[in-house]
Amino acid sequence: MERRQFLAGGTALLSVAVAGCGHPDVELDLEAASDENIADKASTTADPGSEERRVLASARDDGSATRRGREELFDRTDTVRVDGAFYEVSETRVESGEATVYDVDVAFNPDDTKAAVGEVAYDDLPEYDRERLSFVADGREPADEEGYNVDYGTAGAVGDRSALVPEQEYDIVTHGGDRYRVEVESQTVPENEYRYEVTEVAPDVGAFADQVREEYLFALTGLSAAEREVVEEAIDGAYYEDDDAFRSVVDRVRDHEGLDVDDFYGTWLLSYENEEYVTYVE
């Protein structure tokens, strides 16, 4: 059940460094494991409006679905939640080809502000363009002094929703007295066609959490006094000391299959003193 983190709800218990604070070298964190918590850690959720949700719902309702894209949407072992149910997704590349993709460069304070193609107020752009160029309305300064580069993708993905891609109708956008120069660039890139099929693995959170328990839950027992101190501190908050007791506990945990495991960190499901915990180790 290793998972990409492209969707809400499927984020692993990763530690995030706080600005101005050093990140600890090691960590053990035990979090009470409710059905919802287990489901969150062992699956991803297809957000409303996302391409993942559209493809999965189409495959569920029609038996299969296809899409063209530059890369896969899902890991091979993804379990994805849609409308409360959980599905395994099969993603198969069936054809390889090429596609033209478009980037839109928006220059702030350009030297030449005269329109050669056409001029338009930001508010008069189609909604599709306004959403992608929202930094114009927000007044956000770009990290690059030159301006912003916006990936529009393929003409097929854009359809007829844009006044800039694939046919550029304007090269100057105005807003609040400011003028922005727009340039459209294109390039040819590899593109594949994928076929998707889904299999329901659980109808709801409780049933899915029980499946995860059956496959991954193990009991952490037989600990020394020092090891128990490590675990109980990790339950109260987190344990950050790289000592012998910590390493011994980690070795015990890593002896078992985890929900999401890498070389240096991972998430496991364990029971300690008859209570279940989602356990993050780094």
Give domain status of residue 116, yes or no.
yes
pLDDT the model gives residue 1 = 44
pLDDT the model gives residue 23 = 54
Which residue, of 129, 160, 192, is where some domain finishes? 192
pLDDT the model gives residue 22 = 52
Give domain status of residue 59, yes or no.
no
pLDDT the model gives residue 255 = 96
DSSP for the chain, written as a single string:
----S-STT-------PPTTSPPPS--EEEEE--HHHHHHHH-EE--TT-HHHHHHHHHHHHS-EEEEESS-SS-TT-EEEETTEEEEEEEEEEEEEEEEEEEEEEEES-S----SS-EEEGGGS-HHHHHHTHHHHHTPPPSSTTEEEEEEEEHHHHTT--SSSSS---SEEEETTEEEEEEEEEEEEEEEEEEEEEEEEESSHHHHHHHHHHHH-EE--S--HHHHHHHHHHHHS-B---SHHHHHHHHHHHTS--SEE-SS-EEEEEEETTEEEEEEE-
- Give the count of domains, the chain: 2
Q: Is 234 exposed, middle or buried (0-12, 13-18, 19+ CB in 10 A)?
A: buried
pLDDT the model gives residue 2 = 39
Q: Give CA 203 to chain center in angstroms.
A: 23
pLDDT the model gives residue 143 = 66
Q: What is the mean pLDDT of each run of 10 residues along the chain (282 residues)?
A: 37 37 78 96 90 92 91 80 93 91 91 93 96 89 78 88 96 93 94 94 97 97 97 95 96 95 93 97 95
pLDDT the model gives residue 172 = 96
Give domain status of residue 266, yes or no.
yes
Same domain, 102 and 162: yes
**pTM exceeding 0.85:** no
Strand pairing report for 85-108 and 178-202: antiparallel
Give domain status of residue 63, yes or no.
no
Give domain status of residue 280, yes or no.
yes
Domain that holds residue 217: 1-43+204-282
Same domain, 118 and 170: yes
Which residue, of 161, 192, 223, is where some domain finishes? 192
Give domain status of residue 125, yes or no.
yes
Find out whether 225 and 216 touch, Cβ atoms under 8 Å.
no
- State how far the Cα of 73 lies from the Cα of 93, in Å rounded to an integer: 11
Same domain, 174 and 103: yes
Give domain status of residue 3, yes or no.
yes
Which residue, of 192, 223, 242, is where some domain finishes? 192
